[in-house]
Structure 1
Amino acid sequence: MFDVIMVPVDGSEYGYRAADVAIEIAEKFSSKIAAVHVLEEFSFNSYDDEEDSGDEILAKITEKASGAGVEVVEHLLTADPLRDMKFIVGQTRADLVVIHAHGANNNRFVSFEDNNVSDTQIGSVSERLLRTCDVPVLLVK
């Protein structure tokens, strides 16, 4: 049913939760995972630090999926997540996108308690994908 399941991960607990759901679905449908981490085009951090962090995030997904017998293709990209995520979905040839509702924002992770985030709010990248993506999008809270 799903050959490639794309999961964007940002290093937040919500991103890892979405990856867990993607891995579970991939197990059931013998799918591959396209794990995507986007390095922001304009960051105040050094590119090397951002790249190392992205590699670590993707390695965690690959390790967990490998333990479940699921193949992962890692994608570490420099882009604008809000603008480019639909294009990235097409490039990974994903049949399904599993994305978290909330995540990192300028390296400060969203906390429902600290920021009074309601259960009905979603992040801008997730919201844009829900509106524009040509493949099914599973939103994980």
Structure 2
Amino acid sequence: MFDVIMLPVDGSKYGDEAAEIAIDLAQKYSSKIAAVHVLEEFSLNSYDDEEDSGDEILGKITKKAADVGVEVTEHLLTADPLRDMKFIVEQTRADLVVIHAHGANNNRFVSFEDNEVSDTQIGSVAERLLRTCDVPVLLIK
């Protein structure tokens, strides 16, 4: 049903939740996973540190998937996730995107009263994918 499932990952607990579901789907449908970690174009951190962190995040996904027999292709890219995610989906030739509603950097969605991410809002990257992507997007909440 799905040959390639694209999984954008950012190292957050939310990304880990999406990864669990993507791996389960890939196992069920004999799909491959295109795990994508985007290094922000303009970061205050050193590129080497960001690259090392991205490699570690992707490596965890690859190991978890390999443990259940799912093949992963890792993509460590420098881009603007908001602007470029649709293009990345096209380049990975994904049939499905599995993404969590919230990412690691969702400060704009934090409630000042209880200091938790709201269940009624989604992150900007997920929202953009839902509006622009030409393949199905599975939004994990």
**TM-score (ref. length: structure 2):** 0.94
* Amino acid in the other structure paired with 1:83: R
Which residue of structure 1 lines up, in the alignment, with residue 76 of structure 2?
76
Q: Work out the CA distance in 2 between the residues paired with 1:116 and 1:13.
A: 13
Q: Work out the CA distance in 1 between the residues paired with 2:127 and 2:115.
A: 19
Which residue of structure 2 lines up, in the alignment, with residue 96 of structure 1?
96
Q: Work out the CA distance in 2 between the residues paired with 1:91 and 1:12.
A: 24
Q: Work out the CA distance in 2 between the residues paired with 1:139 and 1:118.
A: 15
Q: Work out the CA distance in 2 between the residues paired with 1:97 and 1:116.
A: 25
Which residue of structure 1 lines up, in the alignment, with residue 134 of structure 2?
134
Shift of 1:100: 0.6
Q: Work out the CA distance in 1 between the residues paired with 2:90 and 2:38.
A: 15
- Aligned pair 1:36/2:32, yes or no? no
Q: How many residues align?
A: 139
Q: Work out the CA distance in 1 between the residues paired with 2:123 and 2:135.
A: 19
Which residue of structure 1 lines up, in the alignment, with residue 19 of structure 2?
19
Q: Work out the CA distance in 2 between the residues paired with 1:71 and 1:48.
A: 27
Shift of 1:117: 2.6
Shift of 1:118: 1.9
Shift of 1:115: 3.0
Q: Work out the CA distance in 2 between the residues paired with 1:90 and 1:115.
A: 36
- SS across alignment from 1:34: strand
Which residue of structure 2 lines up, in the alignment, with residue 87 of structure 1?
87
Q: Work out the CA distance in 2 between the residues paired with 1:7 and 1:82.
A: 15
Gaps of 5+ in 1: none
Large movers: runs of 4+ above 4 Å: 110-114
CA gap 1:67/1:114 in 2 versus in 1, 3 angstroms: farther
Shift of 1:103: 1.3
Shift of 1:114: 5.4
* Amino acid in the other structure paired with 1:88: I
CA gap 1:114/1:33 in 2 versus in 1, 3 angstroms: farther
Q: Work out the CA distance in 2 between the residues paired with 1:86 and 1:115.
A: 31
Which residue of structure 1 lines up, in the alignment, with residue 45 of structure 2?
45
1:88-127 matches, within 5 Å, as: 88-105=88-105, 115-127=115-127
* Amino acid in the other structure paired with 1:82: L
What RMSD in Å do the two structures reach over aligned CA positions? 1.7
Identical amino acids, percent of aligned pairs: 82
Q: Work out the CA distance in 2 between the residues paired with 1:116 and 1:71.
A: 35
